[in-house]
Amino acid sequence: AQSVAQPEDQVNVAEGNPLTVKCTYSVSGNPYLFWYVQYPNRGLQFLLKYITGDNLVKGSYGFEAEFNKSQTSFHLKKPSALVSDSALYFCAVSLPGSGNTGKLIFGQGTTLQVKP
Amino acid sequence: DVKVTQSSRYLVKRTGEKVFLECVQDMDHENMFWYRQDPGLGLRLIYFSYDVKMKEKGDIPEGYSVSREKKERFSLILESASTNQTSMYLCAIGPPGGVFRGYTFGSGTRLTVV
């Protein structure tokens, strides 16, 4: 079965330190990969995507993610965390061949807590 | 950017009631989706629609139906609400060009069935 896994329910980092939120996937073919963020009492916001090309992709708010095909991973990173980055983060994959309908499969979410 | 409006932020309904959740977009995008969000389970796709009167089942359609009579509006219907349908419901819009351009989500409807 095709799936996305976020192995950590919560990640805690100190402000100013680098952060990593992990994501692995199990999909046949070449998937399209995404990160979304959800701030309290808000809908999800698109952060970044990997479709093809460079393995390191840059997105909103200084976030980046690294695609690793051999490890089937797409970890979210930021060099220096801010308290305002505290939120719930979702990794998602779009299945190859899903065409324009673009159905997304989401991971279970990781809560990022950045402490001052 | 498209604006996505979900009609209610919080709803409390009784078991057995018929419940309508509304999602409206202010543009003309074809693809619309309903997800439910539960802690530890992430988002799961209930139904989606890629045009007026067109609908397809997602991963967890049981107990739900949908209606799309106009392009801008996509309704999720709980035919007979049950307590296990207590959840956060999120509507999403897919832009032209598909998923590659990123979905836009509504703020969500938190439904409690008592």
Bigger pLDDT: A41 vs B70: B70
Q: What are phi and psi of A45, to 5 degrees?
A: -120, 140
Looking at the complex, does the CB of residue B16 fall below 8 Å from at least one CB of chain A?
no
Residue A101: pLDDT band (50, 70, 90) is low
- Residues in A 17-36 with any Cβ partner in B closer than 8 A: 32, 34, 36
| Rounded Cα distance, A37 and A46, in Å | 7
Binary contact (B58, A103; C-beta < 8 A): yes
DSSP string, A58-104: E-GGG-EEEEETTTTEEEEEESS--GGG-EEEEEEEE-TT-GGG--E
What mean pLDDT comes out for the span A48-74?
A: 93
What mean pLDDT comes out for the span A83-104?
A: 82
Query: How confident is the prediction for chain B on average, in pLDDT?
Result: 92
Other C-beta atoms lying within 10 Å of the C-beta of residue B41: 14
Is the alpha carbon torsion for B39, B40, B46, B49 positive or negative? positive
DSSP state for residue B10 in the 8-state scheme: E
What mean pLDDT comes out for the span A92-116?
A: 83
Q: What are phi and psi of B111, to 5 degrees?
A: -100, 130
Residue B28: pLDDT band (50, 70, 90) is confident
Residue A12, C-beta contacts closer than 8 angstroms, at least 6 positions apart: A113, A114, A115
Residue A52: pLDDT band (50, 70, 90) is confident
Residue A51: pLDDT band (50, 70, 90) is confident
Report whether pLDDT(A86) > 60.
Answer: yes
What mean pLDDT comes out for the span B46-70?
A: 94
Report whether pLDDT(A104) > 70.
Answer: yes
| Rounded Cα distance, A58 and A61, in Å | 9
Binary contact (A106, B44; C-beta < 8 A): yes
Instruction: Tell me the Ramachandran region of residue B98: left when phi exceeds 0, alpha when psi lies from -120 to 50, beta otherwise.
Output: left
Residue B97: pLDDT band (50, 70, 90) is low
Report whether pLDDT(B101) > 80.
Answer: no
Which residues does chain A have within 8 Å of residue B92's beta carbon, measured at their own beta carbons? 44
Structure tokens at A22: 């992990």
Q: What are phi and psi of A62, to 5 degrees?
A: 80, 5
Report pLDDT for B94. 85
Which residues lie across from B112 on neighbouring strands?
B12
> Cα dist. B24→B38, B98, B105 in Å?
23, 18, 11
Report pLDDT for B102. 79
